[in-house]
Structure 1
Amino acid sequence: MEIRVTRDTMSDIYFDALRIRNQVFVKEQGVPYELEVGNALEEASAVHFVLYDGGVAQGTVRLLPHLDEHSALIQRMAILKEGRNKGYGTLLMERLLEFSKASHIDKLELHAQVSAKAFYHKYLFTEVGAIFEEAGIAHIQMERTGLAE
């Protein structure tokens, strides 16, 4: 298994991330494509992580740095259906956390689908605020601080 990282929105890695996100969010969950990939500036500013198993892209997540450079937003965690329950999400999250620490990011935020909040609890994320709807799906804001310690 291998996790490749890119900021290049013209790379094969990025296109693999888009393919996974389109399959999971647009086709499976019914999120409008314009919401999923609607902001070219965010796409270009983000760090995209893609997990490959046997050379085949199976999962992705992106990290969008905030302007202060010491905090970032985790977004678009997606694993293809055939790759679920194989630990791919764990590997992606561990790699993202390593990258964040090495980049001196001290605070991470995310909007978790309510069904996935237990996954993020394992990585010391805590819930902030009330459940809200995003793209027609129930979400909860979560955060983790103290990464740089």
Structure 2
Amino acid sequence: MIETRVVESDAEREDALAVRHAVFVEEQGVDEDLEYDDHDSEAVHFVAYDGSEPVGAARLRELDDGIGKVERVAVLADRREEGIGRELMARLEERARADGFDELKLHSQSHAADFYADLEYDRYGETFEEAGIPHVRMRKEL
């Protein structure tokens, strides 16, 4: 059974970062200097576990007054299509509401836009490139 939680310990943080490294750096070729940034220290991090194995991660940070930014949503390649991403997003949105956010924004990789659309995120603006990967802007009112 998958357990998704807010990161509260150094070990959980390392687990979340390990998932991100596997997905973004190793699988997708994102430069480590782009993957890990100053926002990591201010963001709320989430990690999904299957038993003791970390299988998913995400982070949430304040973008503007009442607006949160969803970032670094990642699920290990061999664990996709199991609902782990949905669990991460549900936990993240729950926290965002508790933190007083009225809206969430995110930059979705183009191939993942349908996943977020299924979670009621609306696309806006043109496609753009981030870390060498096509992205689209999306948002959702909470």
Q: Give the alignment's TM-score, normalised by structure 1.
A: 0.90
Alignment RMSD, CA only?
A: 1.2
Letter in 2 for 1:22: H
Identity of aligned residues (%): 41
CA distance in 1, matches of 2:8, 2:112: 26
Q: CA 1:83/1:143 → structure 2, altered by over 3 Å: closer, same or farther? A: same
CA distance in 1, matches of 2:5, 2:94: 13
The aligned residue for residue 121 of structure 1 is 117
Letter in 2 for 1:97: E
Q: CA 1:67/1:127 → structure 2, altered by over 3 Å: closer, same or farther? A: closer
Q: Give the alignment's TM-score, normalised by structure 2.
A: 0.94
Structure 1 ranges of 4+ moved more than 2 A: none
Match status 1:133 vs 2:129: yes
- SS of the equivalent of 1:66 reads strand
The aligned residue for residue 62 of structure 2 is 65
Q: CA 1:98/1:34 → structure 2, altered by over 3 Å: closer, same or farther? A: same
CA distance in 2, matches of 1:116, 1:75: 13
The answer on whether the counterparts of 1:47 and 1:62 sit within 8 Å (CA) in structure 2 is yes
The aligned residue for residue 73 of structure 2 is 77
The aligned residue for residue 7 of structure 2 is 6
Q: For each residue in 1:123-142, what CA deviation from the matched residue of structure 2 results, as whole angstroms up to 9, or x when unmatched? A: 21111100000111000011
TM superposition shift of 1:7: 6.1
The answer on whether the counterparts of 2:5 and 2:91 sit within 8 Å (CA) in structure 1 is no
For structure 1, list consecutive stretches of 5 or more residues without a partner in the other structure: none
CA distance in 1, matches of 2:5, 2:90: 13
How many residues are treated as equivalent by the alignment?
Answer: 141
